[in-house]
Structure 1
Amino acid sequence: MTERIVALFARLMFARYLLASIAALSCDFIAFLALDHGGATPAVAAVGGYAVGLAIHWIISVRFVFSMAGGPSPVQRVGFVVSALLGMGVTMVMVSALSALGLAPAIAKLLSVPVSFLSVYAIRKYGVFASA
């Protein structure tokens, strides 16, 4: 019975994380498109958009996804930023490379989303917020 409860909790956490990611990605993509249309290089637009999405994701994650008594610790804050930098790096490299191959920057950004999402989720779930 406890195994079922743990499995259910894990699915609910993933669902909350997915919703948080969708909200953050929406803000990320709006900022990305604004920067891209403003003349920024694809890499700069990718980093700028990711930074906006990161701020949104942090707020949602600590309040609704990884509930913790007393809030996040300093180590968790640093871990969140480090995992975000990894995701940002993945995004920047993929957007730059795919854009250089001739894909539209927006399409390149969309293709980078699942890779970045799954990488960062795993780091946060099993590392940063493992005790949550």
Structure 2
Amino acid sequence: MDNGAITFANKLRGNVFLRYVVVSVGALATDVGVFLALLELGLFSMAASAIGYSVGILTHWFLSSRTVFQDRVSDKGTAARTQQKAMFLASALLGLLMTVAIVGTGAALGIDPRLAKIVAIVISFLLTYALRNMVIFRQAPSV
């Protein structure tokens, strides 16, 4: 590996936000891929947006709980882990509602659903990152 790649890997390892961005890009690729495929199949834009977002969220939980917040995820089988999953799902549902509303409003205004989806991606990303980093996977207080 060259020095640039090593430097990036070290920054990635130590930076929660940067890791979250990388994981989000993977989940977003899944979300948008499903969204565009469903649009091509003729599905209504709001439904395609909701389904794509839902598949992206499953991808996001899998990746972020193992690579972004792995040191803050509660142990498997505990009530705390169940609570984290429930809160992660709640944050995803909030993002989903925001995404569907933005895409639906865009469609009602005659805006291309792909453009509305881009706006929804940015707003949903910022909202869910804030909730997940500061609430769901917050650092345990040091004793």
Structure holding more helix per residue: 1
1:70 aligns with 2:86: no
Aligned length: 124
CA–CA distance in structure 1, aligned partners of residues 100 and 75 of structure 2? 34
Q: Does 2:63 match 1:55? A: no
Letter aligned with residue 53 of structure 1: G
Larger mean CA deviation between 96-105 and 65-74 belongs to 65-74
Question: Which amino acid counterpart does residue 45 of structure 2 have in structure 1?
Answer: P
RMSD value, Cα: 1.8
Query: What letter corresponds to residue 67 of structure 2 in structure 1?
Result: F
State the TM-score, normalized to the length of structure 2. 0.81
Q: Secondary structure of 1:73's partner? A: helix
Taking structure 1 as the reference length, what is the TM-score of the superposition?
Answer: 0.87
Given the alignment of the two structures, is residue 44 of structure 1 paired with residue 47 of structure 2, yes or no?
Answer: yes
Q: Select the structure with the greater relative contact order (CA < 8 A; seq sep ≥ 6).
A: 1
- 1:101 aligned residue (96, 109, 115): 109
2:96 paired residue number: 88
Unaligned runs of 5+ in 2: 1-10
Larger Rg: 2
Distance in 2 separating the partners of 1:105 and 1:98? 6
Gaps of 5+ in 1: 1-7
Q: CA deviation at 1:99?
A: 1.4
Alpha-carbon offset, residue 111 of structure 1 = 1.3
Percent identity among equivalent residues?
A: 37
CA deviations 1:51-82 (Å, max 9, x no partner) are 11001101101100001363571100000000
